[in-house]
Chains A and B, each alone.
Chain A
Amino acid sequence: MSSYKTLYLSEKDSVAVALSDIPENTEVVIQTGEEDLKVTLLEQIRFGHKFAVKEIDQGDDIIKYGEVIGAAVSYIPAGAHVHVHNLEGKRGRGDKVAK
């Protein structure tokens, strides 16, 4: 168990934010309001970056602040870094409009 601080903003959220650099394989405890959730980080998570607190299937919405921040490009296991490599925004996507 570690004392690294993380921030989990809403009980609907599928991600939490690291409040310092946290090394790979660290087990962090997420306080969800009900029961604490234990997540082992699969890779290093840098300050301000996000990791999945639960499995997210490819195409599923990713939730932070209790709101949709994008969709999963691929399957994301719990503890994985969630960022531009596996999350894509759904808004302002002129590149997705058939020409």
Chain B
Amino acid sequence: MLNEKLQFWGYRRPDGRVGVRNHVLILPTITCATQTAQRVTELVSGTVSFIHQHGCAQVGTDYDQTARTYAGMGMNPNVYGVIVLGLGCETHQAHRIGDEIAKCGKPVETVSIQQHGGTLQTIAEVAKIAVKMVQDASMVQRELCDFSELIVGTECGGSDACSGLSANPAVGKASDMIVHQGGTAILAETTELIGAEHLLANRAANDQVAKKAYAVIKMMENRSIQMGVDIRTGNPSPGNIEGGLSSLEEKSLGASTKSGTTRLEEVIDYAQIPTKKGLVWMDTPGHDIEQLTGMVAGGAQVVLFTSGRGTPTGSPIAPVIKISTNTPMFERMNENMDLDAGTIVNGLETVNDVGKRIMNEIMQVCNGKLTKAEILKQHDFGIWRIGPTF
């Protein structure tokens, strides 16, 4: 599989990027509009949305990061078109986010609850727009696309001591194959790279990238130092410790194996679209949903997610392929897990074997196979807030 050039059937968007799904996104820019957005998804098949608590009384870099995340969700090529839904008086104005998304050429409409005379009128208005948008979306045909057009996010959540031995190294193999195919693999969760940063910095494309790797680690570590707390009180979590992980460094060394062996091309900000192909490191916290959201807003069409303890996590717009680190959990939580890497611990398969299986699953999912999280409508969304609410 390493040498043949891989292709998949994707949806080409006006900006040239390729999606593996064809959603109409109802994007609430403010918490006050999330319930209205949910009602529309219940009425109109083919639409997705998400619940959150942000979009007002935010300032400075915190405002910017939230705005970038909203816009990134709308611009993700898995989304055909977007209806941006605001209340009207919030700091994150729907029309500003809508204008940003519209730059990529896809259909964008903006609706405000205050302008449309209340919840029920707004539901009707958004639903009417959505009906047309969903039908237009259904006319788009999949076309053959190069694997190099994919951005694949990688993540581990609910880790145990097997994570660093089975599923994470197998994702590392898949990451190497993705890069070899000319695609992009995102490594993230900066918190969970504390203690392994020297290994990644040694693989940096240049000094600047190496410096940024150390810089983002220092900023993350300093946050716990400024709070006067042991980072271990939050990470590793109680479940990680129950599973046998004793320190953040131990967890990090296991987490970093997801990055495989290729050169680290760049270190990017949260929810930023990578500017380079190959392996990139997105600066995100270890919090599963905040990390997932950052990578999807950064344009990831597919996410690989390893877990030892088990987790239902999914995204409203990107398929999340969940890979168990141990077979007992794969069997116990089978409706949530897509692949089992516990076979490595059991001695039935090698890391390379499972890496190939993961690549095969990526291909199938890109071509339309639904992941468990998609089937269970696990539409998680959470923004990494970097400032207080005022």
Q: Kindly identify, within residues 315 to 351 of chain B, every residue whose CB is under 8 Å from any CB belonging to chain A.
A: 326, 345, 347
- CB nearest neighbor in B for A92: B231
Structural contact, B224 and A48, CB atoms closer than 8 A: no
Contact: B226 with A68, CB < 8 Å?
no
Encode A6-31 as 1/0 by CB contact (under 8 A) with B: 01010000000101000000000000
The total of Cβ contacts below 8 Å across the A-B interface reads 102
Contacts of B227 in A (CB 8 A): 94
By beta carbon, the residue of chain A nearest B328 is A47
Whether A91 pairs with B250 at a CB distance below 8 angstroms is: no
Task: Report whether A49 and B244 are in contact in the complex, using a CB–CB cutoff of 8 Å.
Answer: yes
Contact: A92 with B246, CB < 8 Å? no
List B residues 150-169 near A (Cβ within 8 Å): 160-162, 164-165
Residues 198-232 of chain B, each 1 if its beta carbon lies under 8 Å from chain A, else 0: 01000000000000000000000100111111111
User: Which of A36-44, A52-60, A81-89 lines the interface with chain B?
Assistant: A81-89
A92 close to B225 (CB less than 8 A):
yes
B230, A70: Cβ atoms closer than 8 Å: no
**Shortest CB distance A71–B (Å):** 9
> Which of B161, B225, B244, B345 has a CB less than 8 Å from the CB of A94?
B225
B161 with A67: CB separation less than 8 A: no
Smallest CB separation, A20 vs chain B (Å): 9
B-contacting residues of A (Cβ < 8 Å)? 5, 7, 9, 17, 19, 46-50, 64-65, 67-70, 82-84, 87-97, 99
Q: List 23 A-B contacts (CB under 8 A).
A: A46-B244, A48-B160, A48-B161, A64-B253, A65-B164, A67-B199, A69-B246, A69-B250, A69-B253, A70-B246, A70-B249, A82-B246, A84-B232, A87-B247, A89-B195, A89-B249, A91-B194, A91-B249, A92-B230, A92-B232, A92-B248, A94-B229, A94-B231
